[in-house]
Structure 1
Amino acid sequence: MEFEKTLLSVEEFCTYLGIGKTKARELLSNPSCKYVVRIGRRVLIHKELLDAELKKSAKFQLKM
């Protein structure tokens, strides 16, 4: 049984978006960031919320 991860680590987030760790930390430190989940000192990214935010902020409406 294979399933897709719901929460991404910072490294997986960087790979997913094709950005570096510095830019990722800059994006994730924003208090209005809706897709960040903090568990203790760990920072995780909710993939579905991230995808929804990317769709919403896309300049052109992309069909997926």
Structure 2
Amino acid sequence: MFKAIQAEDTRRARNIQKLILKSFAARLLAVRQVSQLNTGKKTAGIDGVKSLNFKQRFALAERLGDFHT
């Protein structure tokens, strides 16, 4: 994506962006970032849950795939 943007190839950059948004691996990384790497990971959310185990993180990533962008 970086190379496409540097080459000012907006069509290719947009296509790569769409692929990333649909990628399950990208969703897993996003869930990991929020649940394990962020500084507020120990702060309870609106549901009162402070941390997620592996199965909960995986289920969350799968649920994120149900939303259409």
Whether TM-score is above 0.5 comes out as no
- Which one has a larger percent helix, Structure 1 or Structure 2? 2
TM-score (norm 1): 0.31
TM-score (norm 2): 0.29
Higher relative contact order (CA 8 A, sep 6+): 1
- Which one has a larger percent strand, Structure 1 or Structure 2? 1
- Indicate the structure (1 or 2) with the bigger Cα radius of gyration: 2
